[in-house]
């Protein structure tokens, strides 16, 4: 019985023929424009013209993500506790790598339209990379601001970032349209670039200076500003999600499921992160905050990817998922009075969660590529039409 349950949970990562059919029919829908976007569009339109037409849009997206991850990992290497000084060049490089990510992420869709290679896979790949990137950006920002001096604020900053990104796609799952606000992703990324550059030029101690009269540190002021803007954005999401604006029957989601259904996954992740943090006998989070947050970020990335897939394929989200195994290892170890050092279990959970996310992304991309008869990173060649054994088995079972 237990083995059957595990098999069913793992197979839930595989798209069914009906999901693939609906995903193929999916049309991208977005509305709204942020404050900085019109100006940045001028640069992005110029930039895409410098890219050879033989470069696949997904390759551009992945290259941008690699830049961003590299900049973040360098900061994490020099300052794993987010309360030390890094070499100045590391902050500057983080700013450059984030700007490179933003630019490449902005032109992948333009490259797809320019080369007549737009597919649903491109949208999924773009949002999937964004779901991973948001974790590294939040951690890097915490390091640049030296929020390790305020571990609870560092924790809150990360969880709010993850929740807000998830909520943006939650309202998309309900309304069928990705809606951008006046202050959105573009402004946020440019703000983070500014933070990195200030830390590089003036040193991260700059953010510990206090605002005259009020006596509030700049880093705390930044956090308060983030809370206010996130609160306003969340209010708009709530109005859409619970205000009857759903695309499905009686205001439900595009899959005709309850608008509350996606709440379980993100709530479970945040709840586990909080419980393990406060119950840790070795103060695991305080000793390794960036590593701890990254592990939960990988779990959040996978459930966000599954939410995007659910939206694009107009299907429901299953409650059980293999991504919860990583945090579960930490939870069980704590329950047994930590017979294995928590730091070791954290590394095991991080490696597992990362591999689980990579496995899911590989399976889904492979299935979609085969269904659409395309390659993920090649817009010139066409795949031979060969039915996979997994798709064949699913089709046989469904019949």
Percentage of residues in the chain having pLDDT higher than 70: 92
Q: Following CA atoms 192, 196, 201, 202 in sequence, which dihedral angle do they give, to the nearest 10 degrees?
A: 80
Left, alpha or beta for 32 (phi > 0: left; psi -120 to 50: alpha)? left
Q: Is 10 part of any domain?
A: no
Give the per-residue pLDDT at 383.
56
**pLDDT, position 394:** 41
Helix axes 151-175, 289-312, angle to 10 degrees: 0
Do the domain assignments include residue 4? no
Question: What tokens does 361 get?
Answer: 């992304």
**Does 8 reside within a domain?**
no
pLDDT recorded at residue 378: 87
* Mean pLDDT along residues 5-17: 64
CA distance 116 to 113: 5
Q: Quick one: pLDDT at residue 398?
A: 40
Task: Evaluate whether residue 65 is within a structural domain.
Answer: yes
Task: Decide if pLDDT at 386 tops 80.
Answer: no
* pLDDT surpassing 80 at residue 313: yes
Q: Which token pair is 1?
A: 């019985």
At residue 41, the pLDDT reads 94
Write out pLDDT tens, residues 340-365.
Answer: 999 999 999 999 999 999 999 999 99
pLDDT reading at 381 higher than 70? no
Q: What is the model's pLDDT at position 396? A: 43
Residue 373 structural domain: 18-398
Mean pLDDT of 368-390: 72
Domain membership of residue 327 (yes or no) is: yes
Residue 399 has what pLDDT? 36
Catalytic one of 127, 169, 265, 311: 127
Q: What is the pLDDT of residues 197-215, one digit of tens each?
A: 999 999 999 999 998 877 8
pLDDT in tens, 137-184: 999 999 999 999 999 999 999 999 999 999 999 999 999 999 888 888
Q: Residue 9 falls within a domain, yes or no?
A: no
Buried (b) or exposed (e) across 85-123, using 16+ Cβ within 10 A? Answer: ebeeebbbbbbbbbbbbbbbbbbbbbbbeebebebbbbb
How many domains does one find in the chain?
Answer: 1
Query: Is there a domain that residue 178 lies in?
Result: yes
Phi first, then psi, for residue 115 (nearest 5°) are -105, 10
Give pLDDT tens digits for 61-119: 999 999 999 999 999 999 999 999 999 999 999 999 999 999 999 999 999 999 998 89
CATH number for position 247: 1.20.120.1760
pLDDT at 154: 97
With contact defined as beta carbons under 8 Å apart, do 276 and 293 qualify? no
User: pTM for the whole thing?
Assistant: 0.91
In this structure, the strands spanning 30-31 and 178-179 are parallel
**Mean pLDDT value across the chain:** 90
- The predicted pLDDT at position 303 comes to 96
Within a domain: 12: no
169 flagged as catalytic: no
Residue pLDDT, tens place only, 217-249: 999 999 999 999 999 999 999 999 998 778 888
CA distance 60 to 73: 20
Mean pLDDT value of segment 255-279:
94
């Amino acid at each position: 019985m237990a083995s059957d349950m595990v098999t069913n949970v793992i197979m839930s990562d595989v798209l069914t023929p009906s999901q693939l059919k609906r995903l193929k029919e999916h049309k991208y829908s977005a509305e709204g424009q942020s404050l900085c976007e019109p100006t940045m569009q001028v640069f992005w339109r110029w930039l895409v013209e410098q890219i050879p037409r033989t470069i696949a849009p997904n390759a551009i997206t992945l290259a941008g993500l690699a830049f961003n991850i590299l900049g973040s990992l360098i900061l994490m290497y020099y300052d794993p506790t987010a309360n030390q000084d890094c070499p100045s060049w590391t902050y500057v490089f983080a700013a450059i790598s984030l700007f490179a990510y933003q630019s490449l992420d902005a032109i992948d869709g333009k490259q797809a339209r320019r080369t007549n290679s737009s597919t649903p896979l491109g949208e999924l790949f773009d949002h999937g990379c964004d779901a991973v990137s948001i974790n590294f950006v939040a951690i890097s920002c915490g390091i640049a601001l030296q929020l390790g001096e305020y571990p609870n604020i560092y924790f809150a900053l990360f969880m709010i970032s993850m929740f807000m990104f998830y909520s943006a796609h939650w309202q998309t799952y309900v309304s069928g349209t990705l809606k951008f606000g006046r202050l959105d992703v573009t402004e946020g990324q440019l703000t983070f670039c500014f933070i990195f550059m200030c830390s590089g030029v003036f040193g991260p101690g700059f953010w510990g200076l206090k605002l005259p009269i009020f006596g509030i540190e700049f880093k705390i002021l930044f956090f308060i500003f983030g809370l206010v803007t996130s609160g306003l954005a969340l209010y708009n999401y709530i109005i859409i999600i619970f205000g009857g604006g759903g695309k499905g029957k009686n205001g439900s989601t595009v899959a005709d499921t309850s608008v509350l259904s996606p709440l379980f996954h993100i709530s479970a992740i945040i709840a586990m992160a909080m419980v393990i943090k406060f119950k840790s006998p070795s103060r695991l989070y305080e000793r390794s905050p960036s590593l701890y947050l990254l592990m939960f970020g990988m779990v959040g990335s996978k459930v966000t990817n599954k939410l995007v897939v659910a939206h694009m394929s107009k299907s429901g989200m299953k409650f059980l998922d293999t991504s919860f195994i990583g945090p579960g290892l930490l939870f069980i170890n704590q329950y047994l009075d930590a017979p294995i050092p928590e730091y070791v279990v954290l590394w095991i959970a991080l490696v597992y969660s990362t591999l689980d996310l990579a496995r899911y992304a590989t399976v889904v991309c492979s299935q979609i590529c085969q269904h659409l008869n395309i390659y993920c990173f090649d817009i010139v060649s066409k795949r031979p039409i060969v039915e996979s054994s997994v798709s064949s088995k699913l089709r046989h079972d469904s019949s």
